Amino acid sequence: MTTDIASVSLPDGERIPKLGQGTWEMGEHPARRAAELAALRCGIDLGMTLIDTAEMYGDGATESLVGEALVGLRDQVFLVSKVYPHNASRQGVVAACEQSLKRLKTDWLDLYLLHWRGSVPLAETVEAFETLRSAGKIRHWGVSNFDTDDMEELVATPGGKACATNQILYNVARRGSEFDLLPWLAARKMPAMAYSPVDHARLPKRSPLNDIADARGVSVFQVALAWVLQKPGVFAIPKAGRIEHVRDNHRASQLQLDVRELAAIDTYFTPPRSKRPLEML
Ligand code: NAP
């Protein structure tokens, strides 16, 4: 396994890879299964050893695929899953986690996230996460799709300061969080986990990304991913169901955009000048 992927620190100092792998929409089509398993294993071999999944994905089918991909490799991976908001009650979180562990064929999750905020009081969800942590079923917990006001409320909740990360939509075309949420997280040494780092393959057809990609002999996806990975305190989880995309994403982690390229990107994908509500997919 190569280890040329940079790392970021969780608030407790544990280092995790800056580049991981997403899994949304994997495990849903039998015809793609072999390619998806090969892609995930190739990524692990290349050092992209953080894998993100969720009970929601494919109604559990994605977690089952990940469990299969990890046979014999579990100890090498930092495994992340997410609980539905409607399962986020004191007993619901524990029951949902048990089901995820079964599908993932493992005894523990490295990180367990609340997928988005629902109607269950945050204090109840935090208490359930801490119960799981004490039982050794999860090592860290965090949230997803929380805007700055949600984060404020979370850290004011008993036990809420133990949150390890906030998984948010962040890429070159979705920069609203740069105004207040990313600085808020950075001030608390809490890394942001960037989902859809290549905007779910919906990047504009023509933008400065194309010029940079042409000049560098790489793809626009690689430029977009390199841009996210260059942000301090941010780690990213692109999903790639094909080995060639996994290899490209790994190569993107070695790409350093220069000041001129970053400025060209800013002229087209302008940074926010005022608060924008957090977008989600
Ligand atoms: P994404 O990673 O931005 O984009 C995935 C798409 O881009 C796929 O169609 C993939 O194609 C393609 N792709 C990836 N790398 C490529 C490359 N180098 N060249 C060309 N195409 C490439 O979008 P995402 O799946 O929405 O987000 C990533 C992960 O974040 C998800 O899988 C999931 O784990 C997580 N997520 C979380 C939330 C949340 O609410 N917390 C929401 C969305 C996503 P192939 O698959 O064909 O290779």
Taking only the tens place, the pLDDT of each residue in 156-183 is: 999 999 999 999 999 999 999 999 999 9
C-alpha distances in Å from residue 239, one per residue of 40, 69, 197, 227? 9, 15, 9, 16
- 238 CA from centroid of ligand 1 (Å): 5
CA distance 172 to 170: 7
CA of 21 to the centre of ligand 1 (A): 8
DSSP 242: S
What average pLDDT score do residues 34-56 get?
A: 98
Do 81 and 46 contact (CB within 8 A), yes or no?
A: no
Distance CA 35, CA 30 (A): 10
Q: Is 42 in the pocket of ligand 1 (CB under 6 A)?
A: no
Under a CB-based contact definition with an 8 Å cutoff, are residues 127 and 159 in contact?
A: yes
Residue 165 DSSP code: -
Show the tokens assigned to 223: 């430029």
Question: Is 175 near ligand 1, meaning CB less than 6 Å away?
Answer: no
% pLDDT > 90, the chain: 99
Instruction: Kindly tell me the burial class for residue 63, based on how many C-beta atoms sit within 10 Å of its own C-beta (0-12, 13-18, 19 or more).
Output: buried
Cβ atoms of 115 and 56 closer than 8 Å: yes
Question: Which ranges of the chain does DSSP label H, i.e. alpha helix?
Answer: 33-45, 61-69, 90-104, 122-134, 148-156, 181-187, 208-216, 220-229, 243-252, 259-268
Distance 201 CA to ligand 1 centre (A): 7
Q: What span, in angstroms and rounded, lies between the C-alpha atoms of 45 and 29?
A: 24
195, 209, 249: which to mutate for ligand 1, most atoms within 8 A of CB?
Answer: 195
Share of the chain above pLDDT 70, in %: 99
281 lines ligand 1 (CB under 6 A): yes
What are the angstrom distances between the C-alpha of 11 and each of 37, 67, 142? Answer: 31, 27, 11
Compute the distance from residue 228 Cα to the ligand 1 centre, in Å: 13
Test site for ligand 1: of 65, 218, 245, most ligand atoms within 8 A of the Cβ: 245
Query: Around Cβ 145, how many Cβ atoms within 10 Å?
Result: 21
pTM of the model: 0.98
Average pLDDT, the chain: 97
Sorting pLDDT into bands at 50, 70 and 90, what band is 73? very high
Element (DSSP H or E) covering residue 127? helix 122-134
Question: 280 pLDDT band (50/70/90 cuts)?
Answer: very high
Asked if residues 147 and 181 have their Cβ atoms less than 8 Å apart, the reply is: yes
Question: What does the pLDDT average to over 139-148?
Answer: 98
Mean pLDDT within 235-263: 98
DSSP character at residue 145: S
Domain ranges of the chain: 15-268
Residue 243's Cβ-count burial label (10 Å; 0-12, 13-18, 19+) is middle
**158 Cα: distance to centroid of ligand 1 (angstroms):** 34
Q: Ligand 1 atom 16: the closest Cα is on which residue?
A: 245
More confident residue, 3 or 223: 223
Per the structure block, which two tokens stand in for 207? 């933008």
What is the maximum span of the chain, computed from C-alpha positions, in angstroms?
A: 54
pLDDT digits (tens, 9 = 90+) for 100-110: 999 999 999 99
Q: What is the pLDDT of residues 83-120, one digit of tens each?
A: 999 999 999 999 999 999 999 999 999 999 999 999 99
Q: How far away, in angstroms, is 18 Cα from ligand 1 center?
A: 16
Answer yes or no: is the C-beta of 263 below 6 A from any ligand 1 atom.
no
For residue 8, the model assigns a pLDDT of 98
Q: Which of 251, 200, 244, 248 is nearest to 38 (CA)?
A: 244
What is the pLDDT, as a whole number, of residue 57?
98
CATH topology of domain 15-268: TIM Barrel (3.20.20)
- For ligand 1, atom 25, which residue shows the shortest CA distance? 239
| C-alpha to C-alpha distance for 149 and 216, rounded to whole angstroms | 40
Looking at the predicted structure, is the pLDDT value of residue 2 above 60?
no
For the chain, the residue count is 281
Q: Please say if the pLDDT value at position 79 is more than 70.
A: yes
Q: What is the pLDDT of residue 15?
A: 98
| Mean pLDDT across 237-263 | 98
pLDDT at 3: 58
As a whole number, mean pLDDT of residues 50-71 equals: 98
Q: Looking at the predicted structure, is the pLDDT value of residue 1 above 90?
A: no
Going by alpha carbons, the residue nearest to atom 47 of ligand 1 is: 241
36 lines ligand 1 (CB under 6 A): no
Say if residue 37's pLDDT is above 80: yes
